[in-house]
Amino acid sequence: MSSTIVWVASITMAAIAMVLTAAAEHRALHLAIAAIVTVVMIALCARDFRAAVERGDGEAVQAAVVARYMGIMWAWSAICLALTYVLILVWSSWGGAFILSSLASGLYIFLARILEREGGERWLGPASMLNCAAFVLSTIVLGAIPVLVGYAGLASAPGDWAAINLMNTTMGGVAFVSGLSLASLPIRRAT
C-alpha cells in the first residue's frame, strides 16, 4: 500500500512540474523533466525486472513487470497531456495523443494483470500470451504511426511542443523497456 502512495504522489508532483513548466513555456526544462521521469521509470523497471529474474519468477511474471511499467509510462503521458492541454496550452490535435496514451496504458496494465494472475499460463497459455503481447505491441505501433506523422506535419503548430516532449520521451522509455526484456531472454534461458 505504501508503494502505491509513493507512486501516486511522485507522478502527481512530476505532473504538476510538467504543467508549471508548460505554463511558463520553459521548453527545455519541460523536456528535461519528462526525460528524468522516463529515466527513473526505466531504472525502476530494470530493478524490478532483475529482482523477478533473481527470484526465479516465471517468464509470465517477468513480462508482467515490463508490461506494468509500460502502462505506467503511458498513463503518465496521458495525465500530463490532459492537464497541459485542458488547463494551459492550446493545440487542436492533443486529443489523439491523449487517446493513444490512455489506450496504450489500459492495454499494458490489462496485459500485466493477466500475466500476473497465476503466472498467466492458466488464463491464456504460453502461446496465447505471446499472441496477446504481439497484438498489444502491434496496436500501439500502428496507433503511434498516425500520431507521429501528424506531429511531423504539425511541427509548426504553436502548442504542440509539450505533447512532442511527452510522447517522444514516453515512446523512448517504452522502447528501452521493451529492449530490456527482449535482451534478457537468452540470459534467462541459459541460466
> Phi, psi at residue 92, to the nearest 5°?
-65, -20
The total number of structural domains that make up the chain: 1
* Domain span at 69: 2-190
Residue with cell 531472454: 185
Amino acid at 188: R
The predicted model scores a pTM of 0.79
Nine-digit cell string for 79? 495525465
Of 74-88, 121-135, 163-177, where does mean pLDDT reach its minimum?
121-135
What is the torsion angle, in degrees rounded to the nearest 10, for the CA atoms of residue 81, residue 8, residue 100 and residue 163?
A: 30
Asked if residues 119 and 86 have their Cβ atoms less than 8 Å apart, the reply is no
pLDDT tens profile 1-40: 467 788 788 888 999 999 999 999 999 999 999 999 999 9
Rounded CA separation 111/113 (Å): 5
Asked if residue 152 has pLDDT above 90, the reply is: no
